[in-house]
Amino acid sequence: MFNFKIKKQSNTSRARTGVLTLPHGEVQTPIFMPCGTKASVKSLSPQELVDLGCQILLGNTYHLHLRPTSELIAKMGGLHNFMRWDKPILTDSGGFQVFSLKDMTTGSKKKNKLKLTEDGVEFYSYIDGSKHMFSPKNVIGIQKNLGSDIMMVIDECADGKSEKKYAIDAMNRTHNWALKCFDEYKKQCDPNKQTLFPIVQGVTYEDLRIKSAKFIDALGSFGIAIGGLSVGEPKETMYKMVDVVVPHLSPEKPRYLMGVGTPEDLIENVYRGIDMFDCVLPTRLARHGAFYDETGRKNILNKKYELDESPISNCPLFGLNTYSKAYVRHLMKEKEILGARILSMHNLWFLFNLMEEIREAINNDRFDEFRLNFYTKWEDYKPNNL
């Protein structure tokens, strides 16, 4: 039920295309996965996602564990049946949210203090202040209940500014938890229905990233994730860490860069050999009025769009190419739900379409040309190595 076949390897970069076969279908790589954080990609139906080009989406273990609980979802037949999504799902372990939300006030107004041990991490719900523990055993159990095609080990995503000593401790803890997660996976899960990806950590220290990549690759997993990047460090630093890690990963395994989703980051990391990406950005930006066009990220609330009759999108689906920028601006100013839906659908379509163009360019031996042409118009960022 699990297979990854490389279709085309670029002769001039690490870019490649492939077919990822999972229990709920095939996925063409490189691929962008939108975040259905709480069993929904905000404001969009499963059929709309399929029509826009979504092949696989991500569910969030942390949020689904807190509400409605993985036990309830299991009783409803798993996450696929619960949300009526019949294509593949990847679930994260919730570790990133535990650490990133550590300063959030809980539902009971208590400070959300973390208790980190070698066995896992104890935290309080931001909803009601109840105490919870994420350990290798229960994050595997939660994801088993969810029934995702791809599960993730629990890891410690150390702050990007961490001193090296702490980075080493966090990396070692991540490695230890990975070993325990695989033990639990073998005990709890059906390997024909679910697979488990471990995660490379090491902050921005090259030697730690290399050490982690070698350790994680040696676990013999079907695929591998790279975590702890795109968390505030400069883009060139992120790209450098990917350059450092990828040569130490087995080429036959799909490579997943977690939490990355700007157009330039997709292109630059495909160039460096990454196959899978996820990010909340396209829909989160949409809810704040931001959208992509061929020159970069724009904000529809800008005064210059007040009388702009040009279409908000080139996407022919759902009439997106019939809505003027002036109209969408009006909707967003008035906080009408339709405005956020239009921008969300457009932003997702933009990224899905970009990934399709990337795959086509790689398959036709013109990815370098595609990359160069993209940056002739893109205003948000220019890489140093063009």
Residue 348: its H or E element? helix 337-363
Tell me if residue 103 falls in helix, strand or coil: coil
Say which residues have a Cβ less than 8 Å from residue 161's Cβ, sequence separation at least 6: 232
How far apart CA 354 and CA 249 sit, in angstroms, is 26
| Nearest in space to 258 (alpha carbons), one of 297, 216, 294, 292 | 216
Joined tokens for residue 379:
């205003």
Joined tokens for residue 206:
């090259």
Assess whether 92 carries a catalytic annotation: yes
> How many CB atoms sit inside 10 A of residue 120's CB?
22
Are the C-beta atoms of 282 and 303 separated by less than 8 Å? no
DSSP 106: P
Q: What sign does the dihedral 208-258-147-218 (CA atoms) show?
A: negative
Beta-bridge partner residues of 32: 277
Residue tagged active-site, from 92, 149, 155, 275: 92
Say which residues have a Cβ less than 8 Å from residue 378's Cβ, sequence separation at least 6: 263, 264, 294, 295, 296
Are the C-beta atoms of 195 and 149 separated by less than 8 Å? yes
Distance, CA of 293 to chain centre: 21
Assign 3-class secondary structure to 117-136: ECCEEEEECCCCCCEEEECH
Beta-bridge partner residues of 64: none
**How do 296-299 and 290-293 pair as beta strands?**
antiparallel
How far apart CA 314 and CA 322 sit, in angstroms, is 9
Residue tagged active-site, from 155, 265, 275, 278: 278
Beta-bridge partner residues of 195: 150
| Nearest in space to 197 (alpha carbons), one of 180, 222, 175 | 222
Just list the catalytic residues.
92, 278
